[in-house]
Amino acid sequence: MADPESLLVEEVGALLRRAAADAILPMFRHLADADVAEKAPGEVVTVADQRAEEIITAGLRQLRPDSEVVGEEGVAADPAVLDRLVGPAEVWLVDPLDGTANFAAGREPFAVMAARRRSGRTEAAWILDPMADRLLVARAGDGAYRDGEPVRTTGEPLAAESLRGVVATRFLPPELRARVAAGEGRIGAVLPGQHCAGQEYADLVENRQHFAIFWRTLPWDHAPGALLVEAAGGVVRRLDGTAYDPADTRAGLLVAANESIWETVHATLLATP
């Protein structure tokens, strides 16, 4: 018989799949104009985001009645919901549809993500690719898995010219953007990003890229992927080298496949001249 924690991991994975099947996939490339709204300048929300979050929130509360849910759309409606992230209670971070702009434009990638936190520590994470029906999961101290099979980031200390990774430049301050641009020629490939943090973390865990740099670090965008990368052997830190905490509102995050790659990318793209 599976232990309660393993059973919970399976149940949450099934819940994310159900939300995708019921609320997201039927709407892909079938959104009407009225199904898409601008919730902030340059940011859209769809009926699929909202319905998926409703399904996931209800399911999590059924699974864990004493827990709190901090969902992207719940926070958009009431910013005070974010306060639930601080404290000893069990909290679920939910991104019901990561990559909404892609989804609304009828293109991939997009993802469904969740993370479970207790006493200020992320204990479990899920990233679902609904189109591929691929589920990445991690439990703190127990590794990372893709559909039940273990995944590990590379442990090789690769040279800068052998590295490929993404720099999400949209929100980068001008000075930092200039620093990155100055170092790009010394990195094997600096990619523009896929507008879906869940896919960037999946590509790191599955060794399709070696690093990612983000400026905006909303907790539902990064808590799931951060645990997955760390559980798979990677490194996730703020740009100043301090530990990443989803409850910390500071900007800037460098994610890498291993310690050596983190140091190499930081020195090449982020270090002050």
Q: What is the pLDDT of residues 78-132, one digit of tens each?
A: 999 999 998 788 999 999 999 999 999 999 999 999 999 998 899 999 999 999 9
List helix spans (H) across the chain: 4-19, 47-63, 72-77, 100-104, 174-183, 197-205, 219-231, 259-265
Q: Residue 33, Cβ neighbours under 10 Å: how many?
A: 6
Confidence of residue 273 (pLDDT cuts 50, 70, 90): low
Give the pLDDT confidence of 11-21 residue by residue, as tens digits. Answer: 999 999 999 99
Q: Which two tokens stand for residue 204?
A: 């790191």
Name the least confident of 34-43, 129-138, 228-237: 34-43
Q: What is the pLDDT of residues 167-205, one digit of tens each?
A: 988 889 999 999 999 999 999 999 989 999 999 999 999
Task: Retrieve residue 72's tokens.
Answer: 């992207």
Helix, strand or coil, per DSSP, at residue 269: helix
Question: Is residue 252 scored above 70 in pLDDT?
Answer: yes
- Strand-pair partners of 125: 115, 138
| Measured distance CA(12)–CA(157) in Å, rounded | 35
Determine how many CB atoms are found less than 10 A away from the CB of residue 202.
26
What whole-number distance in Å separates Cα of residue 184 and Cα of residue 48?
37
Q: Is there a contact between 25 and 130 (Cβ–Cβ < 8 Å)?
A: yes
pLDDT tens column, 205-235 = 999 999 999 999 999 999 999 999 999 999 9
- pLDDT (tens digit per residue) in 52-68: 999 999 999 999 999 99
What was the pLDDT predicted at 245? 95
The pLDDT score that the predictor gives to residue 2 is: 65
3-state secondary structure string, 92-153?
Answer: EEEEEEECHHHHHCCCCCCEEEEEEEECCEEEEEEEEECCCCEEEEEECCCCEEECCEEECC
Separation between Cα atoms, residue 215 and residue 113, nearest integer Å: 19
- Structural domains in the chain, sorted by start: 4-151 (3.30.540.10), 160-270 (3.40.190.80)
* Alpha carbon of residue 111 to chain centroid: 9
Q: How do strand 111-118 and strand 91-98 relate by DSSP bridges?
A: antiparallel
Look at residue 1 and tell me whether its pLDDT is greater than 60.
no
- What gap in Å lies between CA 219 and CA 86, rounded to an integer? 12
**Distance set, CA 258 to CA 126, 139, 146, 221, 234 (Å):** 21, 19, 19, 21, 5
Mean pLDDT of the region 23-33:
98
Assess whether pLDDT exceeds 80 at residue 9. yes
**CB-neighbour burial class of residue 118 (10 A; exposed 0-12, middle 13-18, buried 19+):** middle
C-alpha closest to that of 45 among 129, 107, 112, 104: 104
Rounded to whole angstroms, the Cα distance separating 200 from 236 reads 13
